[in-house]
């Protein structure tokens, strides 16, 4: 084997790794841009052109990573579910189940207030079809839902949550806090800090209005 062939063989894996790293870095930038735009404008108003402009790439290059607007939204949801799961994993096992539920609800509201929570429509056939066919999204959603569902049942069993409510209703209520428009209304009023907003909305969620 010639010296040049040896050198080429040695560099080839490094070049592949570099290309892979660049590919991943671009995908990360795309998903971050999608997160911001979904949080700011919502799925219906966000366009693929805007995402490409935010990242600084041609739309044709973006389509090499994600084939549609729906797949962009799915990637954003996978990212936020990964972050949610990381938060759940980081909680102290010794915490009471109610405190764990409050912690993840607070975390989600803070993400929302930072403008980093992707907001998706409740009804959109093409988006729903993409999400239901996206295995990574479904796997993460099940993991997060199962973990929260277990804590909800434990909290109901020890009477720290209303035992008469179906656990699925409590779960959906907690999910809804992540995209609660009340957070944005209170922030826009300028009367409250982000932490005051989190504290007040958390109280209405877990303590009610009575």
List, for residues 21-71, the tens digit of each pLDDT value: 777 788 899 999 999 999 988 899 999 999 999 999 999 989 989 999 999
Going by the DSSP 8-state scheme, the letter that residue 161 receives in this structure is: S
> What's the predicted TM-score (pTM) here?
0.85
Integer angstrom CA distances of residue 101 from 43, 98, 168: 27, 5, 14
Q: What is the pLDDT of residue 167?
A: 96
User: ∠ CA(144), CA(111), CA(167), 5° rounding?
Assistant: 35
| pLDDT, the chain, mean | 90
Average pLDDT over residues 106-134: 90
Provide the 10 A C-beta neighbour count for residue 200: 14
CA distance 192 to 140: 33
What is the C-alpha separation between 90 and 106, in angstroms, rounded? 14
Question: pLDDT (tens digit, 9 = 90+) per residue, 136-166?
Answer: 999 999 999 999 999 999 999 999 999 999 9
Confidence category of residue 11, pLDDT binned at 50, 70, 90: low
171 has pLDDT over 70: yes
Cβ-based neighbours of 30, under 8 Å, separated by 6 or more:
51, 55, 62, 65, 66, 72, 75
- Among 1.10.645.10, 3.30.450.40, 1.10.357.10, 3.40.50.10860, name the CATH number for the domain at 3-207: 1.10.357.10
């Amino acid at each position: 084997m010639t010296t040049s062939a040896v050198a080429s063989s040695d560099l080839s894996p490094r070049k592949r790794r570099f290309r892979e790293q660049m590919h991943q870095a671009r995908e990360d930038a795309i998903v971050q841009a999608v997160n911001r735009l979904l949080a700011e404008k919502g799925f219906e108003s966000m366009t693929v052109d805007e995402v490409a402009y935010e990242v600084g790439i041609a739309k044709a290059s973006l389509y090499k990573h994600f084939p549609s607007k729906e797949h962009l939204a799915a990637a954003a949801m996978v990212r936020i579910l990964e972050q949610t799961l990381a938060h759940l994993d980081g909680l102290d096992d010794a915490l009471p189940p109610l405190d764990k539920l409050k912690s993840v609800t607070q975390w989600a509201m803070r993400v929302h207030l930072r403008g980093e929570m992707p907001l998706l429509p409740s009804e959109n056939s093409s988006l729903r079809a993409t999400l239901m066919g996206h295995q990574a999204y479904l796997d993460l959603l099940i993991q997060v839902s199962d973990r929260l569902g277990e804590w909800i049942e434990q909290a109901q069993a020890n009477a720290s949550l209303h035992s008469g409510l179906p656990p699925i209703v409590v779960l959906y209520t907690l999910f809804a806090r992540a995209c609660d428009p009340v957070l944005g209304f209170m922030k826009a009023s300028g009367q409250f800090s982000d932490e005051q907003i989190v504290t007040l909305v958390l109280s209405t969620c877990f303590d009610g209005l009575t």
